[in-house]
Amino acid sequence: MKTLSTIQTLSKIAKIISKIILICSIVGLCLCVVGLCGLVLGTEAIKLGGVTVEGLIRDNANLSQGTVYAGVIEGAICCVGAIIVSKAAVNYFKKELDDGTPFTLDGAKQVTRLGVLSICIPVGEQVVYAIAKAVLVRAFEDSALPGLEIGSSVAIGVSLIVLGLIFKYGAETSKTGD
């Protein structure tokens, strides 16, 4: 039972980390929306000591307005994806802690779902960002906008799907062993 105790401790830690990621993603999304509203309302209208925000971005950061829009939109899209995945993770860890074991059929199903989300959400982010980027390229005539990377989400997703199968096998084995 020492191993199960370790698993439960790790699940508690993972649930806390997932909640932190969820909260940070919500805050990040809100800040991106505020930033986007500020850009839409007019970067030249916002002045700090006689200097406009647009002038600061253009002169000091050497970025085009389209690049700034792309960055804010990219951040918002990534935050939405992180909210979805981290909420699913929080739900899984809550369920696992309530069940007292990862070896339940429902828990295995949730881990598999989390794996599928870990693969599909970044792909969806890519599609949405590609559409937004195409609109920005036309609006700002800026072809040098940054891209969006998926990263290691496919490997994590596949690992979670395999883990879900292992949990399902463990749940089935414990039922037949009773």
Q: Say whether 146 sits in a helix, a strand or coil.
A: coil
Residue 119: per-residue pLDDT:
93
Residue 56: per-residue pLDDT:
64
- The pLDDT tens digits along the chain (178 residues) read 798 899 999 999 999 999 999 999 999 999 999 888 877 776 565 666 666 666 666 666 667 778 888 888 999 999 999 999 999 999 999 999 999 999 999 999 999 999 999 999 999 998 999 898 888 888 877 666 677 776 778 889 999 999 999 999 999 998 765 5
Residue 141: per-residue pLDDT:
77
What beta strand segments (E) does the chain contain? 47-48, 51-52
Q: Which two tokens stand for residue 143?
A: 């072809």
Q: How far apart are CA 82 and CA 117, in angstroms?
A: 10
Q: Which helix (H) or strand (E) holds 51?
A: strand 51-52
Q: Say whether 63 sits in a helix, a strand or coil.
A: coil
Residue 14: per-residue pLDDT:
96
Residue 83: per-residue pLDDT:
97
Please report how many Cα atoms fall inside a 13 Å half-sphere around the Cα of residue 117, on the Cβ side.
18
Sign of the C-alpha dihedral computed for residues 114, 115, 116 and 122 taken in this order? positive
Q: How far apart are CA 12 and CA 97, in angstroms?
A: 7
Q: Are 118 and 153 in contact (CB under 8 A)?
A: yes
Residue 177: per-residue pLDDT:
55
Most distant pair of Cα atoms in the chain: their distance: 76
